[in-house]
Amino acid sequence: MLDPRYVTENLDEVRERLALRGFDDPTVLDRLASLARERSEVITEAEQLRAQRNDVSKRMAQVDKKSEEFARTRDEMRSVGERVKVLETRKDEVEEELNDVLARLPNLPHAATPPGKGEADNPVVRVVGDRPAFGFEPKDHVDVGNALGLFDFPRAVKISGTRFAVLRREGARLERALIQLMLDLHADAHGYEEVWTPVLVKDSALRGTGQLPKFGQDVFRIARDEGWTQHDESGAQHDLYLIPTAEEIFEPGELPKAYAAYTACFRSEAGSYGKDTRGLIRNHQFDKVELVRFCEPEQGEAQLEALLGHAEEVLKRLALHYRVVQLCSADMGFGAQKAYDIEVWLPGQNAYREISSCSWFGDFQARRAKIRYRRAADQKPRLAHTLNGSGLAVGRTLVAILEQYQQQDGSVVVPEALRPYMAGLPRIERSKV
């Protein structure tokens, strides 16, 4: 969430920077301006009345307590006190509504984020490796995998419905091998602390990361009965959601901090009807190895570059051709202020497809989630900066391997980096069983 004070004190600048993101809802912005003005007016009046009350209290100390002047002034100050209470109540109401409006506003783009209206305006930062050359017409991953007996989409539809997949034999093993390779690389070579997390999270966690309320249609909410509920420390009841992706104070010297986790992810894909319905590109359930970093504000940009490099290293180890693009202002995710996409080449589609998005959120997530740090033991905690990225999306990595490593005889060469996780298997061929 954006800083309420910064927004209210810099409304014109906020309007301009939100416009760069394509956000120009006049109703929301006008309401924001109205609330900001009222908040300022309420605070100013309350401060003036408190100052007046303090001054009068000092004078009353020198007035005869039995005099008419004392009684009259005391009554006036009681009225002032009641007015201050009314103003404090109204301030809380205004700030609650202001926070609700702010929760629906995206992050402001960083100065280093290029302006643009959409995907076509994303500049290419670099292209890594050569496109694989084929002496035949390359197939897409569905045809390759089906021919090798790696997929069973009919069974997935029967047990779960559309946009789900069943992986079989070497297909299932390849998925597992990719997860192990990524976790080993990030934990051992890149210094991430590996964690394993629940796939069900409270609504408060999704609000902290910015998934709610903006992307409420994209996540799966778990229906509960009266016998199964979740409550916080205060006894408040919470909705539970399947994670769409995977309050703390860091003490001096702890930052930067990095975590890596394998997560099974779930998305409803609301609004994507008819898009990428074939194969593994856009399913309701998918695997990711997620990378999360926390840092001090001054470290943010360098930490983003480090995160990006760690995600790229997976593709380099697998010798897959890809490119990196920087997302323009209107194409970034809701909470990002600067972001990169890694796009892997899929010869079966003759196109680059996103395989990782690495984002720097500034203090946007930390404000609601109360993620803070201390620079010194005797200093007040400050908001940390958060970053995250996929290292990588496992299913799409599997897709890229099937398409980039396919052979004319229908087999698929296993990248050397994966062979130790595949019992040394050099090539996936059609099972004779």
> How far apart are alpha carbons 208 and 238 in whole angstroms?
14
Residues sharing a CB contact under 8 Å with residue 55, sequence separation 6 or more, in sequence order: none
As beta bridge partners, residue 194 has 260
| Residue 214 and residue 100 in contact, taking contact as beta carbons nearer than 8 Å | no
Determine which one of 41, 45, 313, 354 is catalytic: 354
> How far apart are alpha carbons 15 and 26 in whole angstroms?
10
> How far apart are alpha carbons 307 and 302 in whole angstroms?
9
Q: Rounded to an integer, what is the distance from CA 249 to the centroid of its chain? A: 20
> How far apart are alpha carbons 321 and 128 in whole angstroms?
6
**Which H or E run includes 366?**
helix 364-369
* Structure token digits, residue 125: 């930062």
Residues sharing a CB contact under 8 Å with residue 194, sequence separation 6 or more, in sequence order: 183, 186, 187, 259, 260, 261
Specify whether 68 is catalytic.
Answer: no
Specify whether 354 is catalytic.
Answer: yes
* Structure token digits, residue 122: 């994303």
* Omega of the bond leading into 256 within 30 degrees of 0 (cis): yes
> How far apart are alpha carbons 412 and 38 in whole angstroms?
65
Specify whether 126 is catalytic.
Answer: no
> How far apart are alpha carbons 299 and 363 in whole angstroms?
12
> How far apart are alpha carbons 263 and 253 in whole angstroms?
28
Determine which one of 282, 323, 374, 375 is catalytic: 282
Rounded to 5 degrees, what are φ and ψ at 177? Answer: -65, -40
Determine which one of 267, 293, 367, 372 is catalytic: 267
The radius of gyration of the chain from alpha carbons, rounded to an integer in Å, stands at 28
Determine which one of 293, 368, 396, 403 is catalytic: 396
Position of tokens 């209290």? 57
Specify whether 396 is catalytic.
Answer: yes
Q: What angle do CA 241, 105, 40 make, to 5 degrees?
A: 125
Q: Which amino acid is at 122?
A: N
Helices 170-184, 394-404: inter-axial angle, 10-degree rounding: 120
> How far apart are alpha carbons 368 and 364 in whole angstroms?
8
Determine which one of 163, 173, 343, 357 is catalytic: 357
Residues labelled catalytic = 267, 282, 354, 357, 396
